[in-house]
């Protein structure tokens, strides 16, 4: 009787083990497929500007007796070269945030400095579109993390807000502390009055190379990697990035990060328990 009861208990356990193994294999296959897709995507993204550069250099040679045409082609070569440089830089940034543990170099980082840096980075693009940028609530707030990675993440969000907004609109950056039992968090919200994002696209914009409108993204120098970088940085800092958006009205991207003091308190609490 007892043996039967035991085997009855073991049998479902066995099938659960098999199920786990199958799930593991499926997951391994999924990861492999994502890796293959990524390589294919990178190759495609590199081929586009390289192909254009090759065609344009031929055009320059053919137009050697037409200085105006040469100048026009050279200008377009410059745009393609910039695109290539941006793409390579973003690939380096992405691989860095995927492979490094940012918390090894973590320090308290002032939110007002991160915000000022992000605004600085977009000043030119915002200026040409007469977009007003305003920041508030950042005084005295500090987050815990890798300064360079956090700057890259916030910079990407502000850059997108400017890129996907029409002229003479406003981009706002607001920060606040949010009380939380495990340690307070800092929320940095970037709000624009731009084109917005549909519910269907909202689920996908954080994927590498996903763009709602590839032509528009390319026209603004986008690589489709920015939000993937932001998502990685948020996750590796025990934070998160979320989006609210209404099509045609605008978007708010919110970066949630551990507060500097709170992170240290958490460590103290843990060593107190020991």
Return residues touching ligand ADP (CB under 6 A). 156, 160-161, 164, 192, 194-197, 205, 210-213, 217, 222-228, 251
At 151, phi and psi to the nearest 5? -65, -40
**Nearest to ligand ADP of 144, 164 (CB atom):** 164
**Nearest to ligand ADP of 149, 217 (CB atom):** 217
Residue 79 and residue 132: Cα distance in Å, rounded? Answer: 26
Structure tokens at 252: 């708010």
Q: How far is the CB of 5 from ligand ADP (least distance, A)?
A: 56
Q: How far is the CB of 215 from ligand ADP (least distance, A)?
A: 10
CB 83 within 8 A of CB 46: no
At 227, phi and psi to the nearest 5? -70, -25
Q: How far is the CB of 245 from ligand ADP (least distance, A)?
A: 7
**Nearest to ligand ADP of 149, 156 (CB atom):** 156
Q: Residue 147, CB half-sphere, CA atoms under 13 Å: how many?
A: 8
**Nearest to ligand ADP of 114, 225 (CB atom):** 225
Q: How far is the CB of 212 from ligand ADP (least distance, A)?
A: 3
Q: In what order do the strands lie in the sheet with 240-246?
A: 132-136, 170-178, 185-192, 250-258, 240-246
């Amino acid at each position: 009787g007892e043996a039967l009861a035991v085997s009855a208990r073991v049998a479902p356990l066995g099938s659960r083990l098999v199920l786990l193994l199958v799930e593991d294999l499926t997951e391994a296959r999924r990861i492999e497929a994502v890796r293959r897709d990524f390589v294919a995507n990178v190759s495609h993204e590199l081929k586009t500007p390289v192909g254009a550069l090759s065609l344009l250099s031929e055009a320059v040679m053919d137009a050697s007796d037409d200085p105006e045409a040469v100048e026009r082609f050279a200008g377009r070569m410059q745009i393609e070269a910039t695109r290539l440089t941006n793409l390579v830089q973003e690939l380096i940034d992405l691989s860095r945030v995927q492979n490094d543990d940012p918390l090894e170099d973590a320090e308290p980082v002032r939110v007002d400095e991160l915000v000022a840096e992000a605004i600085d980075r977009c000043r030119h693009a915002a200026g040409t579109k007469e977009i007003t940028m305003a920041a508030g609530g950042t005084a005295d707030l500090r987050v815990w993390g890798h300064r360079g990675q956090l700057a890259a993440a916030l910079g990407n969000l502000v850059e997108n807000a400017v890129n996907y907004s029409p002229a003479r609109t406003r981009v706002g950056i607001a920060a606040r502390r949010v009380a939380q039992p495990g340690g307070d968090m800092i929320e940095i919200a970037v709000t624009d009055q731009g084109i917005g994002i549909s519910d269907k696209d909202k689920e996908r914009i954080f994927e590498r190379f996903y763009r709602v409108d590839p032509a528009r993204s390319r026209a603004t120098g986008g690589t489709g990697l920015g939000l993937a970088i932001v998502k990685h940085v948020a996750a590796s800092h025990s934070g998160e990035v979320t989006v609210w958006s209404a099509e045609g009205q605008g978007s708010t991207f919110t970066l949630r990060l551990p507060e500097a003091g709170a992170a240290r308190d958490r460590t103290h609490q843990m060593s107190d328990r020991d």
